[in-house]
Amino acid sequence: MGDKIIFHIDVNSAFLSWEAADRLQHGDTLDLRDVPSVVGGDESKRHGIVLAKSIPAKKFNIKTGESLFSARMKCSELIIVPPNYNLYMRCSSALHQMLMEYSPYIQPFSVDEYFLDCTGMENHFGSPLEAAHKIKNRIKKELGFTVNIGISTNKLLAKMASEFEKPDKVHTLFKHEIPQKMWPLPVEELFMVGRATVSKLHAKNIFTIGDLANTDPEFLKCWLKSHGLLIWQYANGIDNSDIKTSAYGLKGIGNSTTTAFDVQDKKTANMLLLSLCETAAMRLRNANKCCRVVCVSLKDFKFNSYSHQKKLDLPTDCTNKIYQKACELFDEIWDGEPLRHMGVHLSELCESDFYQVSMFEHELQKYKALDRAIDEIRLKYGSSAIVRSCFLHSGLRPLMGCISDNASYPLMSSIL
């Protein structure tokens, strides 16, 4: 059996490219990609970090993840645009649609990354390099943004290849190219080597991917457990994972927010929890799932974070049930310190049609009917069409988080 051919397609500065393409489509004359610009949160609130940056912004040494405050210090004329998650979803799915024309073996890896199994496509689209250039150029022409494509025989190497020179490039990283193309790179550029691991590796004089590749795997395994073995395999280009096609199993749904102000009282906290639960539960129902575990996470004004989770007696997709449990969890852990961040996370999901509702839970049936009715109205008339009355004069948002609200946006196909 011969080697596979795997492509990794990565949108260059995705959020920023998509914003730029969208603005040009709508008649703007300025291309954000040509000036120092970033996509980021609200400078005046506390959501302020850089989510994506233009290449000119990069020249000012602005980094993804840094605060908008410090980004602005580096470049006073920096343009900051707020994120538009609905736009990103539409761009992502337009890309998905196009890529599916080339191979049915496709794995969405994140909103702006796809793996494609292109084994045996030579008859249709030419050599892997030719095919990748065709795909890349077509995306640019028809969708209005650029991508990098990495080509190799497994996902890890394809992904590493797509990280090479950007933007708008195709790179290969086959096995025999590893010593020249990958081993000289700093070890922190290896997939799965993050901040915590890199400082440990440096302490043992491991500075490049090559250094890691040539370290004794037994030693790494004893020292860093399974993660040690994993990064050694990656450093040597070893990855046997499959392309996970179709609807891969969702493991959990979370919804969290940094509040614009410190939360000091239980009443406000409960309303925020309700808002978070509404969105999370709606997404759960949309996925036709129920959850067995509810988790509440908190971060106080000193940035200490802590969480508390509990199993439910029965799986549920009901907003009120989830909210009740979230309040209970909150009461059990909140120490009264002012809070700056709150989150709700639902896990241990199961199929909702699998799960039989106990016929004795009359109250639950009522809630389910209510959830169904509310979901339908929000789908039809937009998410703000129906709002719990307690939010009316609260100054708080009744639905926290990014939920898609198709009513207020035109379809992708009409824009791009």
Note the residues at the interface with DNA (CB under 7 A): 14, 41, 46-49, 51, 63, 65-70, 110, 112-113, 191-198, 225-227, 250-258, 283, 293, 295, 303, 305-311, 333, 341, 343, 345, 347, 401-402
Count of beta carbons in the 10 Å neighbourhood of residue 174: 16
DSSP state of 190: S
52 close to 68: Cβ distance less than 8 angstroms: no
Query: Could you tell me how many residues make up the chain?
Result: 416
CB of 244: closest distance to DNA in angstroms?
Answer: 10
Q: Reduce the DSSP state of residue 221 to 3 states and report it.
A: helix
Of 45, 112, 46, residue with least CA distance to 85:
112
Beta-ladder partners of 156: none
DSSP state of 249: P
Q: Assign 3-state DSSP to the chain and report helix, strand, coil percentages, each to 5.
A: 45, 20, 35
The full DSSP string for 305-330 is: EEEEEEEEEEEE--HHHHHHHHHHHH
Beta-ladder partners of 81: 39
Cα(369)–Cα(229) distance, integer angstroms: 50
| 169-to-9, 46, 157, 160, 178 alpha-carbon distances in Å | 10, 36, 16, 13, 19
Q: List the catalytic residue out of 19, 113, 163, 278.
A: 113
| 293-to-251, 325, 349 alpha-carbon distances in Å | 11, 9, 8
Of 145, 133, 96, 37, residue with least CA distance to 416:
145
208 close to 184: Cβ distance less than 8 angstroms: yes
Cα(351)–Cα(288) distance, integer angstroms: 6
**Which element (helix H / strand E) includes 55?**
helix 55-59
Cα(348)–Cα(364) distance, integer angstroms: 20
19 catalytic residue (yes or no): no
CB of 254: closest distance to DNA in angstroms?
Answer: 3
99 close to 121: Cβ distance less than 8 angstroms: no
CB of 294: closest distance to DNA in angstroms?
Answer: 10
Residue type present at position 117: D
234 close to 311: Cβ distance less than 8 angstroms: no
3-state SS, 346-389, equals: EEEEEECCCCCCCCCCHHHHHHHHHHHHHHHHHHHHCCCCCCCH
Count of beta carbons in the 10 Å neighbourhood of residue 359: 8
191 close to 234: Cβ distance less than 8 angstroms: yes
Residues carrying an active site annotation: 113
